[in-house]
Structure 1
């Protein structure tokens, strides 16, 4: 059995949904399908999810954005008409969108989540109806019916372990099952969504639950590249990656997967294949628990900006028992999550995402650090970027770090931070954001050309 997930570009139009159906018809093992909301049809197009958020926020502010509302309805109407589906298909989708808007108007909790979920829900309703029109046994399966039970957590929902037992029951059902991605339900029946990119998480959860032999994730590229192709022209393709390598790359800016998406598949050791909807015969990139050709080489380079560094210095910090704990406790008290915390004898840096620390919150945190920890220096540096080189067993290969530092020198980019710690998979470098592209190009040269 294969679980197949199709991303937004794969379901952006009626022609793309016909291509999706051809892919499903070509392999009868593809029995469970998870779908995203319709994505962009061209560079200047809009994603349905973005339009739904626009509508929801306008309703929260007291006046519904009728233009965005009509755009969403017209998008679904065009797809349904081109696929020659019955009018009731459109009516069902419109009713669910209107229900989400009503929830927001009545200030019901999670009303915006309910509206955002209508993109994926609409795609699943359409695809199951189209498969049925092509004489296939196919069913739309609502996430609550499938048993996708979640815990509502800050930053995005988390799956409950009991979901996997419920999902396994799907194996008993006949035909092709189509499940909308991105959302699930609490045990109390409240709809909640994952963070953006959440359809990948749904696909991974479903694959783990039904114990699939393979989880295929269809997107718009033939394979995963070792570096961002918008920075380096014609980069090397990666045929195999381990879960750990993919997780590290995704965290540091690879756009193929949300960085948490593969965790359910990883725990159940379900192999994952990244494939191209528009070129389904291409072998794609396999993501597996282990690969035999692990020889310590760098397999990928990822980069991301939008980081802040809080730098703290205090003489004899290393002798002060509990200093690091108290510093991180201040962040916890203020609801601020951190990413990394490299340290020296008398200094410590805490790396945060810019989104985690507003200017107002920054003032509070800095004052508390000064007053409670009595530090010599506390500074905040913005516009930081992280570049990560990734490869299993990299720390056992002599010269990996020296090649990286030479690349930064060649790019004339100053290193603000180096962090490897005990990781065998990655090495991270902190730089100012304006040096990302130069540094990545030089790193690609030293490792891949």
Structure 2
């Protein structure tokens, strides 16, 4: 039994939806279909979700809403017309889009979520009708009916553990169930979305709830590559990853899969497969708990910009009981989250996302480090990138770090910091942002390109 999720690019047009129908029809085990909102048809197009955001903003501002409403409805109308669906399908979608402008604004913390969720919700209705009209018994099911109860955290909903018993009951359906992704319903009946990209999360939750054998995530690429194709020309394709490896790569910039989506499937011990809607016969990338065969020590290299480092030094820091607590308490009181903490005997650095800081917070951090933690020196370094080399086999292979540092050195890339966790699944290098791409290319050549004899 399979749960299948299709991303926005897979659902952008009637042509793409015909591919989706063929994929679902080709395997009777594909019984649950989770869908995103329609994505871009071409580079100049707009995603339906982005159009809904504009609609929401002008609704709050009291501006003319007709252009937004007409564009969104026309977007669905084009698909309905090309697929030859019944007029009643579009009538219901139109009514739903227009009704958003009647939702209360004041004291409505779920208003934005209600607007955003309309993209997925209406697309699921359309796709269920398309399936049924083409000989595939299918039924649209709202997340409330499906049992997707979530916490009351607008824009950051979390599934409630009690939901899984209700979701398991979906197994009793003999039809293909089409479920809108990206949102659930609170106990009070409010629409509440997962974080952006959250249709992946919905698919993972459904897969865990129905105890699927496989969760297939269809997108517009042939699985996952060992490095970003925009940085490395035709990078090596990864056939298999472990969940821990995927988590590290997703954190460090791999955007094929929403990283939060891994958790429900991981806990449910369900293999996840990334596949291509436009090339469904390609095996894609399989994400599992343990590798099924021998693999390279490094499976992937990822990089991400937008980091800063708070650097501090204090003589005999290592002998001062409670020093780390004092530093972290300063960040906690300023509501700042951190990512990594490389240390030395008398030095400590805290790496965090640039978005966590403001000029005022920076000044306050430095002031409190000097006054409360009594450091000898403190500074904040900007424009940093992290590069991760990832692979569970690294821990049993001697020389991985040496190979990496040699490659960076030979390409004149300065390593600001490096760190390896106790699990030894990844090694992190911090470099200046302008050297990020060069660092990824150098590491890729070192680990994936065959050495030629001179």
Point out where structure 2 has 5 or more consecutive residues left out of the alignment. Answer: 450-454
**Counterpart of 2:388 in 1: which secondary structure?**
strand
Q: CA deviation at 1:392?
A: 0.7
Q: Is the 8 A contact 1:201 1:262 kept in 2?
A: yes
Please name the residue that 1:44 is paired with.
44
Tell me the distance in 1 between the aligned counterparts of 2:331 and 2:65: 38
Mapping 1:86-97, distance limit 5 Å: 86-97=86-97
Tell me the distance in 2 between the aligned counterparts of 1:142 and 1:363: 48
CA 1:279/1:344 → structure 2, altered by over 3 Å: closer, same or farther? same
Tell me the distance in 2 between the aligned counterparts of 1:147 and 1:362: 44
CA 1:95/1:274 → structure 2, altered by over 3 Å: closer, same or farther? same
Please name the residue that 1:2 is paired with.
2
Q: Is the 8 A contact 1:294 1:392 kept in 2?
A: no
CA 1:102/1:332 → structure 2, altered by over 3 Å: closer, same or farther? farther
Please name the residue that 1:325 is paired with.
325
The farther-off stretch of 427-436 and 103-112 is: 103-112
| Structure 1 residue 407 corresponds to structure 2 residue 412 | no
Q: Report Cα offsets for 1:233-257 as digits up to 9, x if no partner.
A: 1111111111111111111101111
Q: Report Cα offsets for 1:139-165 as digits up to 9, x if no partner.
A: 111011111111245872221111111
Please name the residue that 2:287 is paired with.
287
The farther-off stretch of 91-100 and 349-358 is: 91-100
Q: Report Cα offsets for 1:409-447 as digits up to 9, x if no partner.
A: 122111111010312211111111111111111111110
| Structure 1 residue 182 corresponds to structure 2 residue 207 | no
Tell me the distance in 1 between the aligned counterparts of 2:94 and 2:326: 52
**Counterpart of 1:438 in 2: which secondary structure?**
helix
Q: Is the 8 A contact 2:339 2:351 kept in 1?
A: yes
**Counterpart of 1:211 in 2: which secondary structure?**
coil
Tell me the distance in 1 between the aligned counterparts of 2:260 and 2:389: 19
Please name the residue that 1:240 is paired with.
240
Mapping 1:227-266, distance limit 5 Å: 227-266=227-266
**Counterpart of 2:261 in 1: which secondary structure?**
coil
Please name the residue that 1:395 is paired with.
395
Q: CA deviation at 1:104?
A: 5.8
Please name the residue that 2:77 is paired with.
77
Please name the residue that 1:338 is paired with.
338
CA 1:366/1:175 → structure 2, altered by over 3 Å: closer, same or farther? same
Q: Is the 8 A contact 1:251 1:258 kept in 2?
A: no
CA 1:237/1:367 → structure 2, altered by over 3 Å: closer, same or farther? same
Tell me the distance in 2 between the aligned counterparts of 1:198 and 1:156: 9
Point out where structure 1 has 5 or more consecutive residues left out of the alignment. Answer: none
Q: Is the 8 A contact 2:10 2:219 kept in 1?
A: yes
Tell me the distance in 2 between the aligned counterparts of 1:427 and 1:415: 12
**Counterpart of 1:158 in 2: which secondary structure?**
coil
The farther-off stretch of 63-72 and 192-201 is: 63-72
Tell me the distance in 1 between the aligned counterparts of 2:87 and 2:106: 29
Tell me the distance in 2 between the aligned counterparts of 1:376 and 1:291: 47
Tell me the distance in 2 between the aligned counterparts of 1:372 and 1:103: 49
The farther-off stretch of 40-49 and 117-126 is: 40-49
Tell me the distance in 2 between the aligned counterparts of 1:152 and 1:429: 38
Q: Report Cα offsets for 1:284-330 as digits up to 9, x if no partner.
A: 11111111334561010011111111112222222221111121122
**Counterpart of 1:290 in 2: which secondary structure?**
coil
The farther-off stretch of 348-357 and 427-436 is: 348-357
Q: CA deviation at 1:367?
A: 2.8
**Counterpart of 2:218 in 1: which secondary structure?**
strand
Q: Report Cα offsets for 1:330-368 as digits up to 9, x if no partner.
A: 222222111111111222111111222233333333333
Please name the residue that 1:350 is paired with.
350
Q: Is the 8 A contact 1:341 1:350 kept in 2?
A: yes
Q: Is the 8 A contact 1:205 1:264 kept in 2?
A: yes
CA RMSD of aligned residues (A): 1.7
CA 1:358/1:74 → structure 2, altered by over 3 Å: closer, same or farther? farther
| Structure 1 residue 140 corresponds to structure 2 residue 140 | yes
Tell me the distance in 2 between the aligned counterparts of 1:107 and 1:67: 26
Tell me the distance in 2 between the aligned counterparts of 1:154 and 1:14: 32
The farther-off stretch of 43-52 and 20-29 is: 43-52
The farther-off stretch of 39-48 and 232-241 is: 39-48
Q: CA deviation at 1:81?
A: 1.4
Q: Is the 8 A contact 1:296 1:395 kept in 2?
A: no
Q: Is the 8 A contact 1:413 1:435 kept in 2?
A: yes
TM-score when normalising by structure 2: 0.95
**Counterpart of 2:148 in 1: which secondary structure?**
coil
Tell me the distance in 2 between the aligned counterparts of 1:6 and 1:76: 17
The farther-off stretch of 269-278 and 289-298 is: 289-298
Please name the residue that 1:223 is paired with.
223
Q: CA deviation at 1:396?
A: 2.4
Tell me the distance in 2 between the aligned counterparts of 1:154 and 1:394: 40
Aligned residues: 449
CA 1:206/1:401 → structure 2, altered by over 3 Å: closer, same or farther? same
**Counterpart of 2:259 in 1: which secondary structure?**
coil
Please name the residue that 1:26 is paired with.
26
Q: Is the 8 A contact 2:342 2:349 kept in 1?
A: yes
